């Protein structure tokens, strides 16, 4: 049972890290898409470009940007919930008089959850900053 207590927060931490990594990739690919669209637009003949196509591309880019920002904030919320859960689990262990090694493992899970939350908060802030540019 002690392995379940220490494995669950570690798994959650890894899932949060994967979510943050996926968000970073999404934001990076969005920036590349915008750069390509801008460079393609600069070389194209403006007389041949159709206005509805430009608006559609702009709307798609805005939607992708908003979705990436929302995902960043969702990841930050999930990381906060993970931290709260790890803290509650540690508190429960302490109140139950669990062995010190279990409490130490719970404290390690809290430290990992705190680091994941910080990374997720920074990713959300970066997404917000990118939206302002």
pLDDT digit string, tens, across residues 58-91: 777 778 888 888 998 999 999 999 999 999 999 9
How far is the first Cα of the chain from the last one, in angstroms, to the nearest whole number? 49
Block residue for tokens 């910080």: 118
Are 115 and 82 within 8 A, CB to CB? no
Average pLDDT of the residues of the chain: 76
Q: Where are the domains of the chain?
A: 2-28+59-132
Considering 7-11, 16-20, 76-80, 126-130, the range whose residues carry the highest mean pLDDT is 76-80
**Encoded tokens for 40:** 């393609």
Block residue for tokens 């194209």: 44
């Amino acid at each position: 049972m002690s392995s379940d207590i220490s494995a669950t927060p570690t798994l959650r931490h890894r899932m949060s890290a994967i979510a943050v990594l996926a968000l970073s990739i999404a934001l990076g690919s969005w920036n590349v898409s915008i750069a390509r669209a801008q460079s393609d637009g600069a070389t194209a003949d403006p007389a041949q470009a159709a206005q509805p196509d430009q608006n559609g591309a702009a709307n798609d880019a805005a939607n992708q940007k908003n979705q990436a920002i929302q995902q960043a904030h969702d990841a930050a919320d999930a990381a906060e919930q993970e931290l709260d859960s790890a803290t509650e689990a540690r508190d429960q262990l302490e109140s139950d008089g669990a062995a010190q090694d279990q409490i130490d493992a719970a404290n390690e899970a809290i430290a990992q959850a705190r680091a994941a939350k910080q990374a997720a908060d920074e990713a959300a802030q970066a997404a917000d900053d990118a939206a302002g540019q």
